[in-house]
Chain A
Amino acid sequence: MTDHPDRLQRCFSLAFPGISANQIRDASTASIADWDSIANINLLCLIEEEFSIEIAASDLEGLTSFPLILQYLNTRLSEGVVAR
């Protein structure tokens, strides 16, 4: 078990202060009205800051929900991504 879900949840709660903790784990661009392009930039910056990684532009397209982002992080971090 990693602490990635909790750390990612913290990023979501800062990017979307209006949604409850219960909603975060299922959050997606479809379910969160506030998840617009600006919020997306904020969220990704928070994730980059929290996990000390840089997310490539080519990866952004698939990062549209909490589970997908978590899966992406687990893969990236298990590969030993070079920290910034």
Chain B
Amino acid sequence: MKLAAALQILAAASKGLPAKNVFLACGFTPLHLQTFLAAHLQCAHPESRVSVATGLYGDLLGNVMRIPVGVPAAIVIEWSDLDPRLGFRSLGGWRVSSSEDILSSVQSRLQVLEEQLRKASSSSILTIALPSMPISPVSFTPYWMADSLSLGIRKLVAEFAENIMEPDRVRILNCDDLIRFEGESFQLKTEIENGFPYSLGYADFLAYRIALCLDGPQPKKGLITDLDDTLWAGILGEDGLEGVHWTIESHAQVHGLYQQMLSSLAESGILLAVASKNNAVIVEEAFSSLDLLVKREQLFPRVVNWERKSQSVKAILQAWNIGPQDVVFVDDSAAELEEVKSAFPEMTCIQFKAADVAYSYALLLELRCLFGKARLRDEDAIRSSTLRVAEQLWIEKQNAASEDDLLAGLNAQVTMTMETKFNAGRALDLVNKTNQFNLNGRRYELMDWIALESQPGRLLLAVEYLDKFGSLGKISVLSGIRSGTTFKVDAWVLSCRAFARRIEYAVLDFLLRQFDLQMIELAYELTPRNGPVKDFLQQLSGGIDSQPVKIERGAFLEKCPPLFHEIRQCQ
């Protein structure tokens, strides 16, 4: 992004929009980093007017202490913040005898910084950029040779970063990513003249990454892969089981790396499926007999036929119960990609090009970015086993005489937990990621979520589900305020993995009985994707046109279908 474009973006943001405030704490003049950061955040939040506040020049520590409560902050550290002799604006001497003193000064400065950052992180989400400019030529070694001083300093910084990192509240920019910047990142001219060390290009590059780390897009949920010349090299139907490869010996390492990535994604809770124009029998044989790095049970459904790819993709989306915007489709054929893209414009479609190794490396990094998460939760680990459950449930559904018979045979247990803490756990994750069964689509910043805890009468209900096929983990979260015999719900989500089990009815039934309620009021708002909530509420209440939607006890009990769950309650 050019500076002119960044200023245009900021000038175009309407003053009437709600404010989104961010704090930038650095010891240098924030200048263009502030402008680019505001512009990138503005692009990501067109519904708000972004404002990036800064502190005082040369006072990184003080600026960390100035971070306003509840305001997300970026802390950008440079070497001169740790000792001015490591920068270019002071003339404190680059004496050989200074090394120990510099190391000691860096260590004590980092300790104080760590202490202040811990305090700030108790009330704000922080993103930290570690020093990325060159250390001044303070050491006696030639510049191409590492020296004990710079190694010692970098070790201290790495330890500081490891100590302070906490994925939900304190995130650290990846230094390996920052060195990928092409061009001059450091500008001595502006450092000396203005106290701003970065070239314009690097300021933009860094600001974009800070914006992503502060407030990046939600990770995608599923990946659909082609098989021939994508998951493996070769055409299974023509070359047979012996003719497909994915190893370095057979010059097909890129396919092996791709399989390795898919398996890793599956372990982090990403749904994987196959859409292939192929012979289904041979494909199943391949998954049974070939020692692939991604396992058969990690891929569900495997839709193998000679239909159009978009038809197969449609079937997979239905099985997963998620929307195309949350899915990535990978295929080696540009024509197949185009056909799927035209059917699902919101889907991310990526071509696999094994012959282009540099491109393949970029693809692996892109997949990590599209699916990357700050931390893994217990639910991520069990998500792949949920696929097997879905497969078994589908089979049972075909055999059951009725839906009631099917549900009665599941031996389902629903555990209701009244949580006392509104924190950065699974509950907030679920509220912010769920689109379909989401009462109103509201997203919460961590600090806004935590603030709910102090509201009188505010309750947070977390719901876990288990049946004979296994656990789905925590799949629903509801929050609202109880007032006498009325419960006013303003946040309610149910994971799409748990649809068609009447859990939503069980939740309302539990609330009515637990608190002896006469009325549940729901702050429903229609969103482009919450059709399942709309259908559910329409079925239970007379109408959903007036706000809030009201469900009376008598009407609910009359319209609620039979429930077969064993309800367990935890405090």
Contacts and interface: CB of A to CB of B under 8 A. Distances in A.
A49 B7 contact: no
Most buried by B among A10, A11, A14, A15: A14
A37 B424 CA distance: 42
Classify the secondary structure of B's interface with A: helix
Interface in A34-82: 38, 41-42, 45-46, 49-50, 57
Contacts of B194: 41
What interface size band does chain B fall in? 10 to 19
A45 B189 CA distance: 13
B11 A46 contact: no
Classify the secondary structure of A's interface with B: helix
Contacts of A41: 31, 194, 196
Nearest to B196: A41
A43 B383 CA distance: 53
What interface size band does chain A fall in? 10 to 19
Interface in A7-40: 10-11, 14-15, 17, 38
Most buried by B among A11, A45, A46: A45
Contacts of A17: 7, 11
Contacts of B200: 45, 49
B189 A46 contact: no
A84 to B, nearest CB: 11
B4 A49 contact: yes
Given A17-B11, A41-B194, A57-B193, A50 B31 contact: no
Given A41-B194, A57-B189, A57-B193, A46 B31 contact: no
A46 B6 CA distance: 11
A42 B3 contact: yes
Most buried by A among B4, B189, B200: B4
B3 A49 contact: yes
Nearest to A13: B11
Most buried by A among B3, B29, B200: B3
B13 to A, nearest CB: 11
Contacts of B14: none
A14 B193 contact: no
Contacts of A11: 4
Contacts of B2: 49
A15 B4 CA distance: 9
Interface of A: 10-11, 14-15, 17, 38, 41-42, 45-46, 49-50, 57
21 contacts: A11-B4, A14-B4, A14-B7, A14-B11, A17-B7, A38-B31, A41-B31, A41-B196, A42-B3, A42-B7, A42-B31, A42-B32, A45-B3, A45-B200, A46-B3, A46-B4, A46-B7, A49-B3, A49-B4, A49-B200, A57-B193
